[in-house]
């Protein structure tokens, strides 16, 4: 069976980025047949009123300008749909995810494409996928009271239907980098391909 991985990095740093290093190790460990690469260091656009209006216009009624406004979002959704496993490398900036990753989330969380509404509430449409999130933080400990990123990312993944979510955390690197990297490498070694 072929496996497709969507590999997303959101660190603003290219050199010396722990989250980039960890996400690359995870992708290598998975040994995927195909890897779709999305680097968020090149910023994605923020949502605008025109984008929102285009998004809520029925697809058959959209004009060329609206279709153009949604083209990148459509592409990001297709990348997500094509993947069996999503690997996200993210640093922790100011106790949360980088703005670049939040912009990606805003562009892929689309009613009718990645989730739907029902009488029972929202339902994710991307079931059967797995997400592995590599997190690097200087001072924020994973799972602590000031960890505002892991619960958010787990919730967003579940919101679009991805409930098989694993974290590889190199947390509190500034306190003990060697121990943090050892924990992260152990978690990577434990991942099933």
CA distances from 65 to 51, 93, 162 (A): 10, 34, 32
- Residue 85 assigned ligand-binding role: no
The Cα–Cα gap between 128 and 27 comes to: 18
Q: Measuring CA to CA, which residue among 145, 136, 144, 140 is closest to residue 185?
A: 136
Q: How many CA atoms lie within 13 A of 180 on its CB side?
A: 21
The torsion region of residue 94 among left (phi > 0), alpha (psi -120 to 50) and beta comes to: left
The Cα–Cα gap between 113 and 105 comes to: 13
- Residue 18 assigned ligand-binding role: yes
Task: Beginning with the edge strand found earlier in the chain, give each strand of the sheet holding 130-136 in spatial order.
Answer: 34-39, 4-9, 85-91, 130-136, 164-170
- Residue 19 assigned ligand-binding role: yes
Radius of gyration of the CA atoms of the chain, in A: 17
Q: What is the dihedral of CA 164, 106, 147, 90, to 10 degrees?
A: 80
- Residue 118 assigned ligand-binding role: no
- List, as residue ranges, the binding site: 11, 17-19
- List, as residue ranges, the binding site for FMN: 11, 17-19
């Amino acid at each position: 069976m072929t496996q497709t991985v969507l590999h997303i990095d959101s660190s603003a740093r290219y050199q010396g980025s722990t989250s980039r290093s960890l996400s690359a190790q995870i992708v290598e460990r998975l040994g995927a047949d195909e890897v779709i690469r999305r680097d968020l260091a090149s910023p994605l656009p923020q949502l605008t009123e025109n984008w929102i209006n285009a998004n809520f216009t029925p697809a058959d009624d959209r004009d060329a300008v609206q279709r153009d406004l949604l083209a990148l979002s459509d592409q990001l959704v297709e990348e997500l749909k094509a993947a069996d496993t999503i690997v996200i490398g993210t640093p922790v900036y100011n106790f949360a995810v980088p703005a670049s990753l939040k912009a990606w989330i805003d562009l892929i969380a689309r009613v009718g494409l990645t989730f739907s509404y029902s009488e029972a509430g929202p339902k994710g449409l991307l079931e059967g996928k797995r997400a592995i999130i590599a997190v690097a933080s200087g001072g924020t400990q994973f799972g602590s009271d000031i960890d505002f990123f892991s619960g958010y990312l787990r919730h967003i993944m579940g919101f679009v239907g991805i409930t098989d979510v694993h974290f590889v955390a190199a947390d509190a690197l500034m306190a003990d980098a060697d121990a943090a990297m050892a924990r992260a490498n152990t978690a990577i070694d434990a991942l099933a391909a």
